[in-house]
Structure 1
C-alpha cells in the first residue's frame, strides 16, 4: 500500500527542485484536497531561480550546457504503472501514488532528469 497523492503533494526532480502541486481532482478529496489522477503529472514544471513557478519550494538547479541559462525540469511522460493505483480509479483514470516516479526533460539541457514524490500531500488514504 502507498499513500495517494493530493493537491499539496510535493514533487522533486533529480536536480534538487521541489514544487508543490496546486490542483487536484475535486471528485474525491482528502481533508479538502483533491486527489491526483494518472496524467495530472504530465506538463508539471519545476521552477528555477530565474523562472519561478506557482508552488515552487526549492528551485531546480539544472542549467544549459554552457551554464548561462536555467534549464528547469518538466514532466513530459506519464508515470509508469508502478506509481498508479490498481484499485482506485476516477473517471477511468487510476490515482497517482507516493511511489510514482519518472523521467523529466529540459528545454535548455540535453540531459534528462528524473522526478519522484517528496511528500504525498496527505497521510490518511492509501491504495494498491
Structure 2
C-alpha cells in the first residue's frame, strides 16, 4: 500500500526544485486537506528563484542556455497508472499515490519528478 497525496504534499524535480501542492479535492480530506486526484499534476510548475510559485520550497535552477531567463520544470503528462490508486477514486478519478512520478518539460534540460512527501501518513490505498 502507498500513501495518498493531499494538499501540502511535496513534489520534487530531478534538478532539485521542490514545491508543496497548494490545492486538493475537498470532496475527500485527510486532517482537513483535500486529496490530489490524477491529472491535477499536469501543468504543475516548480518555480525559479526569480519566478517563485505558491508553495515553492526550493527553486528549479534550469535556465535558458545563455542564463538570461528561468525555465523551471513543468509536469508535462499525467502520472502513469503505477502512481494512481486502483480502488480509491474521487468523482470517478483515481487519487495520486506517493509512488507517482513522471516527466517534466524544461528546455534545455528536461527531467523527471517524484513525490518527496505525500502530505500525510494516515490514508493508504492500493
TM-score by structure 2 length? 0.97
Q: CA deviation at 1:110?
A: 3.3
> Which residue is 2:24 aligned to?
24
> Which residue is 2:94 aligned to?
94
> Which residue is 2:54 aligned to?
54
Contact 2:77/2:102 (CA < 8 Å) preserved in 1?
yes
Residues 34-84 of structure 1, C-alpha deviations (whole Å, 9 max, x = no match): 000010101111010110000000000111122222110011200000100
| Matches of 2:66 and 2:88, distance apart in 1 | 45
Contact 2:4/2:97 (CA < 8 Å) preserved in 1?
yes
Q: Does residue 124 of the first structure (1) align with residue 85 of the second (2)?
A: no
The within-5 A match list for 1:63-82 is 63-82=63-82
Q: Which moved more, 1:93-102 or 1:58-67?
A: 58-67
| Matches of 1:70 and 1:103, distance apart in 2 | 18
Contact 2:62/2:109 (CA < 8 Å) preserved in 1?
no
> Which residue is 1:35 aligned to?
35
Residues 79-100 of structure 1, C-alpha deviations (whole Å, 9 max, x = no match): 0001000010111100000000
TM-score by structure 1 length? 0.96
Gaps of at least 5 residues in structure 2 are none
| Matches of 2:52 and 2:67, distance apart in 1 | 18
